[in-house]
Amino acid sequence: MKRFESLADTMAKEIRSGSLPTGSRLPSLRHVMAQHGVSQSTVFRAYYLLEDWGLIQARERSGYFVAPGALTQDRVAKGSSTGSAKVEISDLVFSVLDAAKQPGIVPFGSAFPSPKLFPLQRLGKSLAQAVRMTNPWSTVVDLPPGNEQLRRQIALRYVGIGIAQSIDEIVITNGALEALNLCLTAVTRPGDVVAVESPGFYAALQAIERLDLRAVQIPVDPQTGLDLEALAKALEEHPIRACWFMTNFQNPTGATLTAEKKQALVALLAEYDVPLIEDDVYGELHHDPDYPPPALAFDKKGLVMHCSSFSKTLAPGYRVGWVSAGRFAGRVQRLKLMTTLSASIPAQAGIADYLQHGGYDKHLRKLRGAFRVQLDAMNAALAHYLPDGATWSQPKGGYFLWVKLPRKIDVMQLHFLAIEHGISIAPGPMFTASHQFGDCIRLNFGHPWSAETGKAVETLASLIERAER
């Protein structure tokens, strides 16, 4: 049993014995740390577990309290043997995402860019226009694969990067996340092995956990991206049924595969007839003039399912994404119908109108320019404040930096300390199932730079000094 689990167990016993009555406030963080000789992060993780067991409740700005009914519970702590690393990953992810939502926090840990950078008013106009012009039959016609105008506009954008894409292979989804999940469901069965990146986007691990699959982790280098030799070896050794990779501006490292590597990846997977679920949500956010064509550009067998969305580039919260699903399009479309039926019909129509009339490319140029400026500012601040020996990636797109810290740091402790100082970060262990990257953090530079941002980097650097193991 891990330290936080045994601390949670001890505290659960106290609660059930009645020594902490219903509604009473839990002892202060400092008190619990001193009493049990544990770190702050251990206490927080124990609290999260107690919350999961329904024994305590968090009240905003007031701390934790014993939940009503906690005393009468059976041994809910049966769940204390959480054991599996995957479950821990979910807990960690939820806690970090929750922290990043706190109002006023400096959002270095956030997965989103600043909503201020999006043309929300102009988009609203398109939405209003589309809703006014709605043909009542669109509620039926726009069911999967989705609004035809929108699919046509998306296909045109593919043409812009040299990919001829039939609109029949494009399925509109509720964001890229649904597209990725539907693709994974379409090509696997419980127990199958799936190759994912490490570090990689945590949602891949969550989907694997939910669908009862098994993961093989393929290393990603922050500079050169996915290790193709390791993938080739994994394909030899495991019955891999699907891969879930990012080839452009990978989350969390920012790495992009060269065109040669993308081509080699597609060829390798074609040899084994293994589908590639390609997550390209940041592709349009290239800082250089051109969009690096995704692996889809090299696909000749219909094995690549290219997933993206407008969430990071135009319309956060509209939940409109898509997959160009190659030979799996029919299967994905049916799964879409069977699960959430359809993406929002007004949102699809609104985005289709914007793509036609709103000046999407002009907006994207502005957005990319903003990210370049913010990256320069972040680079300068990190160079100035971070301790000697710290290194960080130099992404050519997107808005994430992957920082490797020079000392033995407990990044989970750093995460909790940073929250106390009004700063969120995304700790490295969120991005793997194998307890790695305890000395790495992902930083978001997708928000306009301000004096406060610079100050936050300075504070973070001073907390790094304090978070040494």
Ligand X SMILES: Cc1ncc(COP(=O)(O)O)c(C=O)c1O
Contacts of 180 (CB under 8 A, 6+ apart): 203, 204, 207, 244, 277, 279, 307, 323
The answer to the question of residue 360 lying near ligand X (CB under 6 A) is no
The stretch among 144-152, 171-179, 420-428, 450-458 that binds ligand X (CB under 6 A) is 171-179
Give the nearest distance from C-beta 109 to ligand X in angstroms. 12
Q: Which is nearer to ligand X, 281 or 409 (CB)?
A: 281
The stretch among 35-43, 44-52, 173-181, 423-431 that binds ligand X (CB under 6 A) is 173-181
The answer to the question of residue 20 lying near ligand X (CB under 6 A) is no
Q: Which is nearer to ligand X, 113 or 293 (CB)?
A: 113
Among 20, 117, 177, 349, the residue binding ligand X under the rule CB under 6 A is: 177
Among 53, 201, 244, 322, the residue binding ligand X under the rule CB under 6 A is: 201
Give the nearest distance from C-beta 177 to ligand X in angstroms. 3
The stretch among 29-37, 143-151, 169-177, 237-245 that binds ligand X (CB under 6 A) is 169-177
Among 32, 226, 235, 281, the residue binding ligand X under the rule CB under 6 A is: 281
Q: Do residues 332 and 182 lie in contact, with contact meaning Cβ atoms separated by under 8 Å?
A: yes
Contact set for ligand X, span 312-351 (CB under 6 A): 321
Report H helices in 106-201.
120-132, 138-141, 148-160, 175-187
Rg (CA), the chain: 23
Compute the distance between CA of residue 347 and CA of residue 172 in angstroms, rounded to an integer. 11
Contacts of 233 (CB under 8 A, 6+ apart): none
Q: Which is nearer to ligand X, 175 or 428 (CB)?
A: 175
Residue 294 CA, chain-centre distance (Å), reads 19
Q: Which is nearer to ligand X, 7 or 403 (CB)?
A: 403
Closest CA to 464 of 416, 414, 422, 426: 414
The stretch among 24-32, 175-183, 235-243, 349-357 that binds ligand X (CB under 6 A) is 175-183
Closest CA to 284 of 166, 413, 160: 160
Give the nearest distance from C-beta 252 to ligand X in angstroms. 9
| Farthest CA pair distance, the chain | 68
Contacts of 173 (CB under 8 A, 6+ apart): 146, 179, 182, 307, 309, 320, 321, 322, 323, 336, 343
Compute the distance between CA of residue 282 and CA of residue 198 in angstroms, rounded to an integer. 18
Q: Which is nearer to ligand X, 7 or 127 (CB)?
A: 127
The answer to the question of residue 353 lying near ligand X (CB under 6 A) is no
Compute the distance between CA of residue 4 and CA of residue 52 in angstroms, rounded to an integer. 13
Specify the residue for token string 């509720």.
174
Q: How buried is 400 (Cβ within 10 angstroms: 0-12 exposed, 13-18 middle, 19+ buried)?
A: buried
Give the nearest distance from C-beta 376 to ligand X in angstroms. 22
The answer to the question of residue 176 lying near ligand X (CB under 6 A) is yes
Give the nearest distance from C-beta 251 to ligand X in angstroms. 4
Q: Which is nearer to ligand X, 44 or 108 (CB)?
A: 108
Q: Which is nearer to ligand X, 47 or 201 (CB)?
A: 201
Give the nearest distance from C-beta 390 to ligand X in angstroms. 24
Interhelix angle 40-52/29-36, nearest 10 degrees: 110
Give the nearest distance from C-beta 141 to ligand X in angstroms. 24
Give the nearest distance from C-beta 320 to ligand X in angstroms. 8
CA pseudo-torsion sign 133, 139, 142, 146 = positive
The answer to the question of residue 244 lying near ligand X (CB under 6 A) is no
Backbone phi, then psi, for 440, in 5-degree steps? -125, 150
Q: Do residues 241 and 188 lie in contact, with contact meaning Cβ atoms separated by under 8 Å?
A: yes
Site string for ligand X, 417-456 (x = CB under 6 A): ----------------------------------------
Q: Which is nearer to ligand X, 217 or 413 (CB)?
A: 217
Among 279, 299, 410, 439, the residue binding ligand X under the rule CB under 6 A is: 279
Residue 131 CA, chain-centre distance (Å), reads 31
The stretch among 174-182, 338-346, 382-390, 421-429 that binds ligand X (CB under 6 A) is 174-182
Chain residues in the site for ligand X (CB under 6 A): 111, 175-177, 201, 246, 251, 279, 281, 309, 311, 321
